[in-house]
């Protein structure tokens, strides 16, 4: 797969991202301020897609879409998403939420954590164990001082400073991703941690996304588990 390429219009107001292949389908056109960003995901065949290669293309595009947001745009988008989430019954009823500590380019989860604490909800964050069959365990999160930096710049809990939270006690799970479709399927980071964890999860699942990350279809495998709800700055999509 060729690397993601950028081309600019003569005015500089349009940026096109594309991954070169055989079939070219625009997955979205995103307006960011005065800029219009067209993202093309190209696949080899409509019926016989190399899923791993195709997912990598979507993953690359999703990261590009997020990193192209300005700090002001990102802050406004997060505030709007938080407002919409707070109106849902899933948020109102949840006593314990599971959520990641976002990285700089991602949808910022810190305002959601702050609001959960303000409302007296328990917050649990994940710890990944790549050498133990990609197992993931959630731990109680009460203070940012318990965080440690692990691989890929991820912030995870120092398990010596906190206690695990049982899966069955988590009511609302925020599932991260880079691209999403309208059936709840998502392109994550490729580790498979959430698909394994959600296999027997009985609570409610939700993903937060910038509208530019949402397309009609993302490639998926039989083992991929869709989220039940998706919320963007425009509101609850489902």
DSSP code per residue over 40-90? EEEES-SSS--HHHHHHHHHHHHHHHHHTS-HHHHHHHHHHHHHHHHTSHH
Element (H, E) at 148: strand 147-149
Q: For position 23, what pLDDT does the model report?
A: 30
Percent of the chain with pLDDT over 90: 69
Q: For position 50, what pLDDT does the model report?
A: 53
- Burial of 114-129, coded b for 16+ CB within 10 Å and e otherwise, reads eebeeeebbbbbbbbe
- Distance between CA 134 and CA 140 in Å, rounded? 20
Query: Per-residue pLDDT tens for 123-161?
Result: 999 999 988 888 999 999 999 999 999 987 899 999 999
The domains located in the chain, with CATH, are: 5-68 (no CATH), 72-236 (3.40.50.10420)
Average pLDDT for 199-219: 96
Q: Quick one: which of 169, 232, 179, 170 has its CA closest to 205?
A: 170
Query: Per-residue pLDDT tens for 6-37?
Result: 443 334 444 444 433 323 344 444 444 434 44
Structure tokens at 116: 């959960």
- Distance between CA 141 and CA 134 in Å, rounded? 21
Average pLDDT, the chain: 84
Structure tokens at 46: 């409509």
Task: State the pairing for strand pair 214-215/179-181.
Answer: parallel
Q: Quick one: which of 24, 75, 51, 79 has its CA closest to 187?
A: 51
0.75 surpassed by pTM: yes
Give the pLDDT band of residue 41 (cuts 50, 70, 90): very low
Element (H, E) at 111: helix 110-118
- Tell me the angle at which helices 71-86 and 110-118 cross, rounded to the nearest 10 degrees: 40
What's the burial of 13, exposed, middle or buried (CB within 10 Å: 0-12/13-18/19+)?
A: exposed
- Distance between CA 27 and CA 194 in Å, rounded? 24
Q: Is the pLDDT of residue 190 over 80?
A: yes
Q: Is the pLDDT of residue 69 over 80?
A: yes
Q: How many CB atoms lie within 10 A of CB 19?
A: 22
Q: Is the pLDDT of residue 109 over 90?
A: yes
- Distance between CA 168 and CA 231 in Å, rounded? 23
Q: Quick one: which of 124, 31, 121, 32 has its CA closest to 85?
A: 121
Rounded to a whole number of angstroms, the distance between the first and last alpha carbons of the chain is 33
Query: Per-residue pLDDT tens for 70-91?
Result: 999 999 999 999 999 999 999 9
């Amino acid at each position: 797969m060729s690397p993601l390429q950028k081309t600019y219009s003569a005015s500089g107001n349009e940026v096109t991202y594309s991954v070169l292949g055989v079939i070219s389908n625009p997955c979205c056109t995103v307006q960011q301020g005065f800029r219009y960003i067209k993202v093309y995901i190209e696949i080899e065949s409509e019926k016989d897609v190399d899923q791993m290669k195709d997912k990598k293309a979507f993953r690359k595009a999703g990261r590009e879409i997020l990193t192209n947001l300005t700090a002001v745009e990102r802050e406004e988008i997060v505030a709007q998403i938080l407002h919409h989430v707070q109106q849902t019954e899933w948020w109102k009823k949840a006593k314990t939420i599971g959520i990641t500590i976002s990285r700089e380019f991602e949808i910022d989860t810190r305002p959601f954590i702050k609001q959960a604490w303000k409302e007296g909800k328990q917050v649990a964050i994940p710890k990944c164990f790549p050498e133990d069959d990609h197992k993931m365990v959630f731990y109680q999160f009460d203070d940012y001082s318990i965080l440690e930096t692990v691989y890929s710049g991820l912030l995870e809990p120092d398990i010596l400073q906190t206690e695990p939270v049982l899966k069955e006690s988590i009511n609302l799970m925020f599932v991260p991703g880079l691209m999403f479709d309208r059936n709840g399927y998502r392109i994550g980071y490729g580790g498979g941690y959430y698909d394994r964890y959600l296999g027997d999860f009985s609570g409610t699942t939700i993903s937060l996304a910038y509208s530019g990350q949402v397309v009609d279809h993302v490639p998926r495998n039989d083992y991929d588990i869709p989220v039940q709800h998706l919320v963007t700055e425009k509101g609850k999509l489902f």
